[in-house]
Amino acid sequence: MRVDYLIVGQGIAGSLLALNLLERGRTVLVIDDGHKTAASKVAAGMINPVTGRRMALSWRFLQAWNYLCDDYRKWESILGSSFFHRKSILRLLQSEEGRDRWERKLRAGEFAGIGFRHGNWRPSVAGLKPSLGNFEVDQSGYVDQPTLIEAVRRYLKSRGSLTEDTWDEGDFSRGSKAVKWKQWKARKIVFTQGFRNGSNPFFRDLPFRNSRGEILVLSGNGPNTQKILNRGKWLMPRQEGHYWAGATYDLRTVNQEPTKAGREEILSGLKDMGNWEFVVEGHRAGVRPALHDFRPVLGLHPWYPEIGIFNGLGSKGSLWAPLLAAELADHLEWSKPLHPQADIERFRKYL
């Protein structure tokens, strides 16, 4: 049985790459075990232009944002599902150092193109504790990644483009112009395995810097706003009276087990943010797949051009995946160049 492409993994990267290749008239087979270890299953899916204590503008933010707004709406229409939610983010500054850094970067034009509400404006959110300043951004929101992935899964199954199976290196062989997995042959194979990349014989030596993140699912009498609140930790309104909160960042223990310490860290951050009462209804953990330079990695292996990779999206999968999936599909089909800061060529010495 022949297809144009095999794709290993159906997280957000594998899902959007498969959709893009099908849109270009190609045949695909996605190999996935129910995405049991996919970070997409537990990701909050937040899209945030300015992140971290250093107030860093997310890589390629404006280009990725302008692309994804139309792209997600297109896939929502095709898949018959709703998963892209625009919500503003209210960032509450915790320290004078943070406020000075934000104001300095703003004056220097580092956030050109990003629309902020700031200055003497004060948010009217019940229970919110005072901060040393704040700003609000509207080019933000979240993607309900589990809903997206399940909708893509149904779509792929309806086309015979997905097999529920576990990838095993022993079932795979390659030739100069084709690859084979079990009874399937394809022109190319693309691995989108997330933090499981370490088991891949072709890409396991890439300098990954994975991190575990934990989030809480909450209910209760929270803030009277639909904005995402961010003050070290973040609080995201979902349905009425229900919230997600997070997140932790752990480089030392890379597994998918929630911890008591992670729960207490998030709840402590929420207490610093506001006077609200919550009940913890769920506690999730996942591993963010990231490279040491905090850029994604995509493209074809320098020595084996029939083998490709799409990985390293970290906590920015909802932001980067639509644009990068389209760029990778164009690269695979028409040899269009990839962005040099994402191209696997930058890691040639590791391969």
- Render each residue's pLDDT in the chain as its tens digit; 351 residues: 999 999 999 999 999 999 999 999 999 999 999 866 565 666 889 999 999 889 999 999 999 999 999 999 999 999 999 999 999 999 999 899 999 999 999 999 999 999 998 876 677 898 999 888 899 999 999 999 999 999 999 999 999 999 999 999 999 999 878 999 999 999 999 999 999 999 999 999 999 999 999 999 999 999 989 999 999 999 999 988 999 999 999 998 888 899 999 999 999 999 999 999 999 999 999 999 999 999 999 999 999 999 999 999 999 999 999 999 999 999 999 999 999 999 999 999 999
Task: Name the residue among 129, 237, 190 with its Cα closest to residue 333.
Answer: 190
Does residue 83 fall inside a structural domain? no
Dihedral over Cα of 48, 54, 55, 58: its sign: negative
CATH of the domain at 24: 3.50.50.60
Which domain does 108 fall in, by range? 89-137+211-288
Q: Judge if 264 and 311 occupy the same domain.
A: no
Does residue 12 fall inside a structural domain? yes
**Tokens 């008591």 belong to residue:** 260
Domain count, the chain: 2
CB 296 within 8 A of CB 328: no
Q: Judge if 151 and 115 occupy the same domain.
A: no
d(CA 259, CA 263): 6
Q: Judge if 121 and 169 occupy the same domain.
A: no
d(CA 256, CA 244): 18
Residues linked to residue 163 through DSSP beta bridges, in sequence order: 31
Helix (H, G, I), strand (E, B) or coil at 34: coil
Question: What residues have CB less than 8 Å from 134, skipping those under 6 apart?
Answer: 90, 91, 92, 93, 118, 121, 122, 123
What is the H or E stretch that residue 149 is in? helix 145-158
First to last CA, the chain: 30
